[in-house]
Amino acid sequence: MNKYIELGDEYLLHTYNRFPVVIERGDGVRLFDDEGKEYLDFAAGIAVYGLGYGNREFNEALKRQIDKIMHTSNLYYNEPCCLASKEVCDAAKMDRVFFTNSGAEAIEGAVKTARKYAYLKDGSTDHNIIAMEHSFHGRTMGALSVTGNAHYREAFEPGIGNVKFATFNDLDSVKALIDDKTCAVIMETVQGEGGIHPSDEEFIKGVRKLCDEKGLLLILDEIQCGMGRTGYMFAFEKYGVKPDIVTIAKALGNGVPVGAFAMKEAVAENSMVPGDHGTTYGGNPFACAAVLEVLRQFKERDIVSHVRELTPALEAALDELKDKHGIVKDRRGAGFMQALELDCSVTDVINRARENGLLVISAGANILRLVPPLVIEKDDIENMKIRLDKALSES
């Protein structure tokens, strides 16, 4: 293990403070390092492995596609991309989709679409976008520009410009920022990196109403909270609202790098045209074969209902830990996207949990985040509780 860590430390750009573990393989909801130690995984590659590791049918679908063709470019049609486009639009209740390689790229495309939509209305390029404080949308320049954490942005300013930040779950703060140059509001339906904060129903419905009244586009970032994680295929369904543009990634590919932004037909017809946007790898046959198999299994296995059915057990386990340990100040979340707010260093708890064979991650300096594979069972929840209980006791 030390050999690989030393090699990585010598040659990888140091943009991550990695934990001293070399993951070798996965099976179901468990990971194994190169020394054979087993870990119960409640991180899922940061909410990516919805179907878990070593999913036989998923792997076979990718192998079949590899034997056909992996890449064609977007100069031509390919079968998996065309099929996946319909499945994604059906799942998101949208009309058009653009496939990307990541969530950040999906945000870039959504922001460009909103700007182009506004430009075609009046020919002006000085429109502004309202984003949320404590939000996180990605590390590329456009995505970073709408990320509501100044610490992430300060070394890379100026960003794309004309971005204002409102207070999440405070409708009046959004109203106060809207002017005749506002073209869109972008927000996570459930804030992830900002500490696992779901939208209040009154707030998200109020923002949707404001956008309708003012002719603004509502962009909902469902990169982390979408794809069944909250007990709905997309978290916005719980509130009975529908965005104009939605961004998707993470569990969409179950480990294969793929994202997407999807939109209503009215937005598509009045924004992007050939030459406005592109990607070499986006929508390639390999990635779209992954998307197709993920969505097939979501339907066949009714993953969303499984999440909804087991959410009470997960919440009860975490509430029990909150009641037992004084360092746990709060428990919040939605579905399999849960957080414990701690009165201590979250890194210490993460390290203790790892030593006890449990992988969990953070969402800020004192927020412990649990985003397990969507296929966990009650025994896994009980096992998690035992291991996390020990970690909290030792911290």
The model's pLDDT over 254-278, given as tens digits with 9 standing for 90+, comes to 999 999 999 999 999 999 999 999 9
Same domain, 183 and 81: yes
> DSSP label at 235?
G
The whole domain housing 380 covers 2-54+302-394
Same domain, 147 and 266: yes
Rounded Cα gap, residues 60 and 244, in angstroms: 35
Same domain, 44 and 131: no
DSSP states of 200-227 as a string?
Answer: PHHHHHHHHHHHHHHTPEEEEE-TTTTT
Q: Any residues with CB less than 8 A from the CB of 219 and at least 6 apart, and which?
A: 110, 111, 114, 184, 185, 186, 187, 243, 244, 245, 246, 247
Same domain, 48 and 115: no
Same domain, 208 and 91: yes
Q: How many domains does the chain have?
A: 2
Query: Cα 63 vs. chain centroid, distance in angstroms?
Result: 26
Same domain, 23 and 124: no
Same domain, 26 and 88: no
Same domain, 233 and 185: yes
Compute the radius of gyration of the chain from its Cα atoms. Answer: 21
Q: Which of 301, 322, 339 is the last residue of a domain?
A: 301
Query: Global pTM?
Result: 0.97
Q: To which residue do tokens 């966990």 refer?
A: 376
Closest to 130 in 3D by CA, of 191, 173, 78: 173
**DSSP three-state, residue 130:** strand
User: Do the beta carbons of residue 1 and residue 33 sit within 8 Å?
Assistant: yes
DSSP states of 285-302 as a string?
Answer: HHHHHHHHHHHHHHHHHT
Query: Cα 299 vs. chain centroid, distance in angstroms?
Result: 20
Q: Which of 301, 325, 360 is the last residue of a domain?
A: 301
What's at 106, amino acid-wise? A
Rounded Cα gap, residues 37 and 34, in angstroms: 8
Q: To which residue do tokens 């900002």 refer?
A: 194
pLDDT for the residue 365:
87
pLDDT for the residue 333:
98
**CATH code of the domain covering residue 189:** 3.40.640.10
- Enumerate residue ranges in the chain where pLDDT < 50: none
Same domain, 128 and 231: yes
Q: Any residues with CB less than 8 A from the CB of 363 and at least 6 apart, and which?
A: 192, 193, 194, 195, 196, 339, 369
Q: Which of 301, 330, 356 is the last residue of a domain?
A: 301
Same domain, 177 and 269: yes
